[in-house]
Amino acid sequence: MQTKDAIRKRVWSLMEEEHVSRFPGARGRIPNFMGAEVCARFLAQWPTWQRARVLKVNPDSPQRAVRQRALEEGKTLYMAVPRLSDIKPFIELDPKALKVSHFAASSIKGASLCGRRVLLEEVKKIDLIVCGSVAVNRQGARVGKGGGYSDLEYALLREEEKVGATTPIVTTVHGFQVLTEPIPMTEHDIPLNALVTPEGWVPLRPRRGKPKGIYWEQLDEEKIQAIPVLQWKRNMRGARLQ
């Protein structure tokens, strides 16, 4: 089984060689890809999407069309503050309160300007999570860009009971990002319930359960110090244990 880092490098190279990656490129990020807007249209046909009123969507370029569509359909949208660098780690976008177009609000810059930064406790209960991926397989495993932020965001929301074991997680990817091989997974990695490509959406049966919260023993001190809400959570946890 290849390491996650090896899988990332291979997929980034493949997308570049096949000319399916778009600005700002594939390597080192959640890769933007040809057909991302088609994925958003297919995702909108999924009954789970249609029932959802509150979504959390990653802020990366290939999922911008997903964010725009959610706002156009009147869904409340949460995006993480980049690198969770604020004690208020999520941006809330209420389509009823927007004073700019849905397209403008769906960008990282637009969301930061017109959205409302909220504390964990202020986040509404989330019906559906859309995450970005570098690679996925049909067993529900995924590889992100390597920072671990999608997993941490889920863990923070899980501990606040804003998401649960049955909250669906879906990703939109190009077909070249869907692998047939195993992908290494640990207990803090989020599994997928469905994936969407420009060819359609595919329900999955993940082999792992969703993380139950923050796995503190797997976090290094540098990561904790870089994320204010983790510092706060650890302090609160320490106070409860005293």
Tokens of 171: 């990703």
CA distance 191 to 185: 9
- Chain position carrying tokens 């997993």: 151
Name the residue range of residue 15's domain. 4-217
Establish if 236 belongs to a structural domain: no
Q: Domain for residue 32, yes or no? A: yes
| C-beta of residue 33 within 8 angstroms of C-beta of residue 199 | no
Quick check: is 38 in a domain? yes
Residue 227 lies in a domain: no
Helix (H, G, I), strand (E, B) or coil at 209: coil
Q: What's 121's domain CATH number? A: 3.40.50.10420
Residue 230 belongs to a domain: no
**224 within a domain of the structure (yes/no):** no
How many angstroms separate the CA atoms of 31 and 14, rounded? 11
The answer to whether residue 18 sits within a structural domain is yes
Identify the residue whose tokens are 């001190």.
221
Instruction: Write the CB contacts of 191 (distance below 8 Å, at least 6 apart in sequence).
Output: 140, 141, 142, 169, 185, 206, 207, 208, 209, 210
Structural domains in the chain (count): 1
Q: How far is CA 199 from the centre of its chain?
A: 21
Q: Is residue 232 part of a domain?
A: no
Tens-digit pLDDT string for the chain (242 aa): 899 999 999 999 999 999 999 988 899 999 999 999 999 999 999 999 999 999 999 999 999 999 999 999 999 999 999 999 999 999 999 999 999 999 999 999 999 999 999 999 999 999 999 999 999 999 999 999 998 899 999 999 999 999 999 999 999 999 999 999 999 998 999 999 999 999 999 999 888 899 999 999 989 999 999 999 999 988 887 656 55
**8 A C-beta contact, residue 11 and residue 176:** yes
- Model-level pTM? 0.95
Residue 240: predicted pLDDT: 63
